[in-house]
């Protein structure tokens, strides 16, 4: 028989152990006396898209890469706050971008003014005025696509194809859906305090080389996150003669929720959610093999679904309300494939990796400002982002990264981040690299990986460009886009890893048919939804949405004393749940 204390705990199931599920679990773990929580993750590791993969350190200069999520804007305060609580820290990196290749047609960058910037100077100057109008009328422009907005303001088609679409695709990962996303998102790239990265310039379009934050080893971080949650939620005992108590928050990997049945919409009903689940054999990345055996049925008081919107709808099945079907069914996903490789010939064929005088602007060349920009570029042009448009259809885009430039381990930073001395942390849940196995799989068997170069060693000898690790993303497997893919041109012997990813489409319809209405389904039938898709596909949104779902069930928000963190959390709480923070947590009427 359960004790009275156990019987009064709220029983919660969290489906999914990505950023949102782990954030919700962390919030609950602060209250082991009030909540009994289970987390079911269908893959074999936590993190969702935040994954790491081993590589050959002797060949590439580092022993692992983050292959799904790379980094984020410095204003992602909740993400970095939870990292630091876990003993990790992100690294700053200069965000240099290389768009296109042809000096006359499509090459431009934020490092120095190019000839293409000269060509579009009138549209660039007008763009600042358009941003102000969009900000003033944001509710209207939230449901107007970027392509429609460009026509409304009279921008040239080439300006959209060469300048605007590649920039938005870069920042939000919207890829080939960029023309159809909400134009309000474009304004936020430049003007929103929670999302802003670039500074607009009426002369050069992008005024600065902003700082980006590259994440520490994500497989290690999420493994630590799991351990911290379970340790924090385990009651302390003084009697050593008894077995240690189980944690109040238990995270089970390789277990899939198949369907649920909800019996009540009242606020105080016990056992209102019946859940059926089964074990899986999974390597992550949606490659699941179901174990033989019958499903297990359990009862919970509340459920938080931290999966993709369409996966949530599949779990709900026939139990989904018409409103859930309408709102969740409006979230559209596309399948992309990333190829991590070392093919310098491919990269040089399609992108500008090096500075060249032929790329430089021809205007004001004798001004001190331009001389400084060109001089800096000559010695320091090291892009980490690359974007190219397909010649046959400029709205179709290919994206690449230089992971060697982007990720800090190639500069000798330990997996836990710069300045972190957390017991000499090593990534402990990925295998030593074997480049002969560059299939679409990851390992199930934890193992330590070799050491990394010291920062001193790395700075003494820059890794040659031909040894850099690149990642190219081929967007949208539908024939309308995949017909332009050049994936087969990458030398197969240079391929390190291939993975398919499911990416959210940020169509303007998403901001008309999903985001404003999430509060109508969150909390109904003892069900809440969390994930980046509820607002915008960013790690930071995933984190705060998980905190918000747990907060609505009575858990504490862990960063109430940090106004930078609290700002976006309050916005997410309002957007996803249509409520304010509790009176004791807010510092004003609207906060």
Q: What is the spatial distance between Cα 23 and Cα 86, in angstroms, rounded to a whole number?
A: 12
Most confident of the following: 56-70, 278-292, 425-439: 56-70
**Phi-psi group of 172: left, alpha or beta (phi > 0 → left; psi -120 to 50 → alpha; rest → beta):** alpha
Residue 297 CB coordination number (10 Å): 10
- If asked whether residues 380 and 457 sit together in one domain, one would say yes
Q: Where are the alpha helices (DSSP H) in 429-538?
A: 455-460, 479-482, 510-513
Residue 1, pLDDT score: 38
More confident residue, 511 or 135: 135
Residue 261 CB coordination number (10 Å): 15
| Structural domain contains residue 21 | yes
Q: Where are the alpha helices (DSSP H) in 263-332?
A: 309-316, 322-328
Q: Which domain holds residue 471?
A: 53-113+201-214+334-503
| Structural domain contains residue 586 | no
Do 330 and 351 touch, CB atoms closer than 8 A?
no
- If asked whether residues 345 and 415 sit together in one domain, one would say yes
Q: What is the mean pLDDT of residues 505-529?
A: 89
What are 394-411's pLDDT values in tens digits? 878 899 999 999 999 999
Quickly state the pLDDT bin for 61 (edges 50, 70, 90): very high
Q: Where is average pLDDT lowest: 75-79, 108-112, 230-234, 479-483?
A: 479-483
- If asked whether residues 83 and 208 sit together in one domain, one would say yes
| Structural domain contains residue 516 | yes
Residue 177, pLDDT score: 61
Specify the 3-state DSSP secondary structure of 266.
coil
| Structural domain contains residue 154 | no
Q: Where is average pLDDT lowest: 98-107, 210-219, 582-591?
A: 582-591
| Structural domain contains residue 174 | no
- If asked whether residues 69 and 206 sit together in one domain, one would say yes
| Structural domain contains residue 165 | no
Tokens matching residue 376:
């800096």
The last residue of one of the domains, among 481, 503, 525, is 503
What percent of the chain is modeled with pLDDT above 70?
85
Do 323 and 496 touch, CB atoms closer than 8 A?
no
Tokens matching residue 400:
């690449």
Tell which residue, 388, 387, 377, 371, has the closest CA to residue 354. 377
What are 284-294's pLDDT values in tens digits? 555 556 665 67
Residue 328 CB coordination number (10 Å): 23
Q: How many domains does the chain have?
A: 2
- If asked whether residues 321 and 345 sit together in one domain, one would say no
Q: Is the pLDDT of residue 443 over 60?
A: no
Q: Is the pLDDT of residue 463 over 50?
A: yes
| Structural domain contains residue 24 | yes
Q: Is 512 exposed, middle or buried (0-12, 13-18, 19+ CB in 10 A)?
A: middle
The last residue of one of the domains, among 486, 503, 520, is 503
Helix-helix angle 218-232:77-85, to 10 degrees: 70
Q: What is the spatial distance between Cα 518 and Cα 236, in angstroms, rounded to a whole number?
A: 39
Tokens matching residue 188:
């936020």
What are 207-224's pLDDT values in tens digits? 788 888 999 999 999 999
């Amino acid at each position: 028989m359960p004790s009275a204390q156990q019987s009064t705990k709220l029983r919660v199931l969290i489906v999914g152990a990505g950023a949102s599920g782990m954030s919700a679990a962390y919030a609950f773990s602060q209250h082991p006396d009030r909540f009994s929580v289970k987390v079911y993750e269908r893959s074999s590791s936590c993190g969702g898209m935040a994954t790491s993969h081993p590589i050959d350190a002797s060949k590439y200069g580092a022993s692992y890469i983050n292959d799904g999520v790379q980094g984020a804007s410095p204003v992602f305060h909740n993400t970095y706050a939870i990292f630091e609580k876990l003993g990790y820290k992100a690294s700053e990196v200069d965000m240099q971008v290389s768009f296109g290749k042809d000096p006359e047609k499509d090459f431009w960058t934020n490092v120095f003014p190019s000839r293409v910037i000269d060509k579009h100077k009138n549209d660039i100057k007008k763009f600042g005025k358009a941003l102000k109008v969009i900000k003033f009328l944001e509710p209207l422009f939230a449901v107007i696509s970027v392509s429609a907005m460009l026509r409304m303001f009279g921008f040239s088609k080439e300006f959209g194809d060469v300048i605007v679409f590649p920039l938005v695709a870069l920042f939000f990962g919207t890829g080939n859906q960029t023309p159809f996303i909400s134009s309000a998102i474009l304004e936020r790239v430049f003007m929103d305090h929670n999302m802003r990265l670039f500074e607009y310039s009426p002369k050069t379009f992008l005024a600065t080389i902003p700082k980006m934050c590259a994440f520490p080893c994500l497989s290690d971080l999420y493994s630590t996150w799991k351990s911290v949650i379970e340790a924090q939620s385990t009651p302390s005992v003084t009697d050593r003669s008894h077995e240690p108590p189980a944690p109040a928050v238990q995270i089970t990997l390789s277990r899939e929720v198949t369907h649920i049945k909800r019996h009540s919409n009242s606020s105080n009903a016990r056992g209102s959610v019946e859940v059926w689940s089964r074990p899986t054999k999974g390597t992550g990345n949606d490659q699941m093999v179901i174990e033989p055996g019958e499903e297990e049925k359990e009862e919970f008081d509340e459920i938080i679904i931290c999966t993709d919107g369409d996966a949530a709808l599949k779990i709900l099945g026939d139990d989904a309300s018409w409103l859930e079907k309408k709102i969740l069914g409006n979230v559209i996903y596309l399948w992309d494939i990333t190829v991590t490789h070392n093919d310098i010939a491919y990269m040089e064929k399609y992108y500008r990796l090096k500075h060249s005088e032929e790329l430089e602007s021809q205007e004001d060349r004798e001004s001190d400002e331009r001389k400084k920009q060109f001089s800096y570029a000559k010695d320091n042009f090291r892009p980490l982002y690359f974007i190219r448009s397909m010649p046959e259809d400029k709205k179709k885009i290919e994206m690449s990264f230089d992971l060697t430039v982007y990720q800090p381990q190639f500069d000798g930073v330990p997996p836990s981040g710069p300045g972190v001395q957390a017991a000499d942390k090593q990534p402990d849940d990925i295998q030593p690299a074997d480049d002969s196995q560059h299939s679409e799989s990851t390992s199930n068997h934890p193992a330590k990986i070799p050491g990394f170069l010291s920062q001193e060693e790395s700075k003494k000898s820059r890794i040659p460009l031909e040894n850099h690790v690149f990642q190219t993303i081929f967007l949208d497997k539908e024939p309308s886009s995949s017909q332009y893919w050049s994936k087969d041109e990458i030398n197969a012997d240079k391929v390190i890893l291939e993975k398919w990813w499911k990416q959210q489409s940020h169509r303007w319809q998403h901001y008309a048919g999903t985001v404003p209405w999430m509060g109508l389904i969150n909390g109904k039938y003892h069900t809440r939804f969390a994930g980046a898709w509820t607002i915008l596909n960013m790690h930071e949104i995933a984190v705060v949405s998980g905190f918000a779902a747990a907060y609505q069930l009575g858990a504490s928000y862990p960063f109430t004393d940090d106004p930078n963190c609290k700002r976006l959390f309050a916005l997410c709480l309002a957007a996803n749940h249509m409520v304010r923070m509790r009176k004791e947590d807010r510092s004003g009427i609207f906060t």
